[in-house]
Amino acid sequence: MTTTAVSDVRDSAIKKGLIWSPEHGRIAFTVPGMAEFIRRQPTARHLTNPRTDDGIARVPR
């Protein structure tokens, strides 16, 4: 996936109110517990998430 494609998906999710960006290179879900809900789904078991204890994903630079 290209950087532009990832950026487009990120922008779309922000506009839909699903995620927000508390600072550069970080995103967080707007709904508490959403990350855990997604991880429990059978189709998401292969996904990994570089996440910290605060629940905010770090995007590698």
1-56 pLDDT, tens digit per residue, is 788 888 999 999 999 999 999 998 899 999 999 888 888 888 765 555 555 555 56
- With a CB cutoff of 8 Å and minimum separation 6, the contacts of 14 are 20, 21
Helix (H) or strand (E) holding 34: helix 34-40
**pLDDT confidence of residue 42:** 81
Q: How many CA atoms lie within 13 A of 51 on its CB side?
A: 13
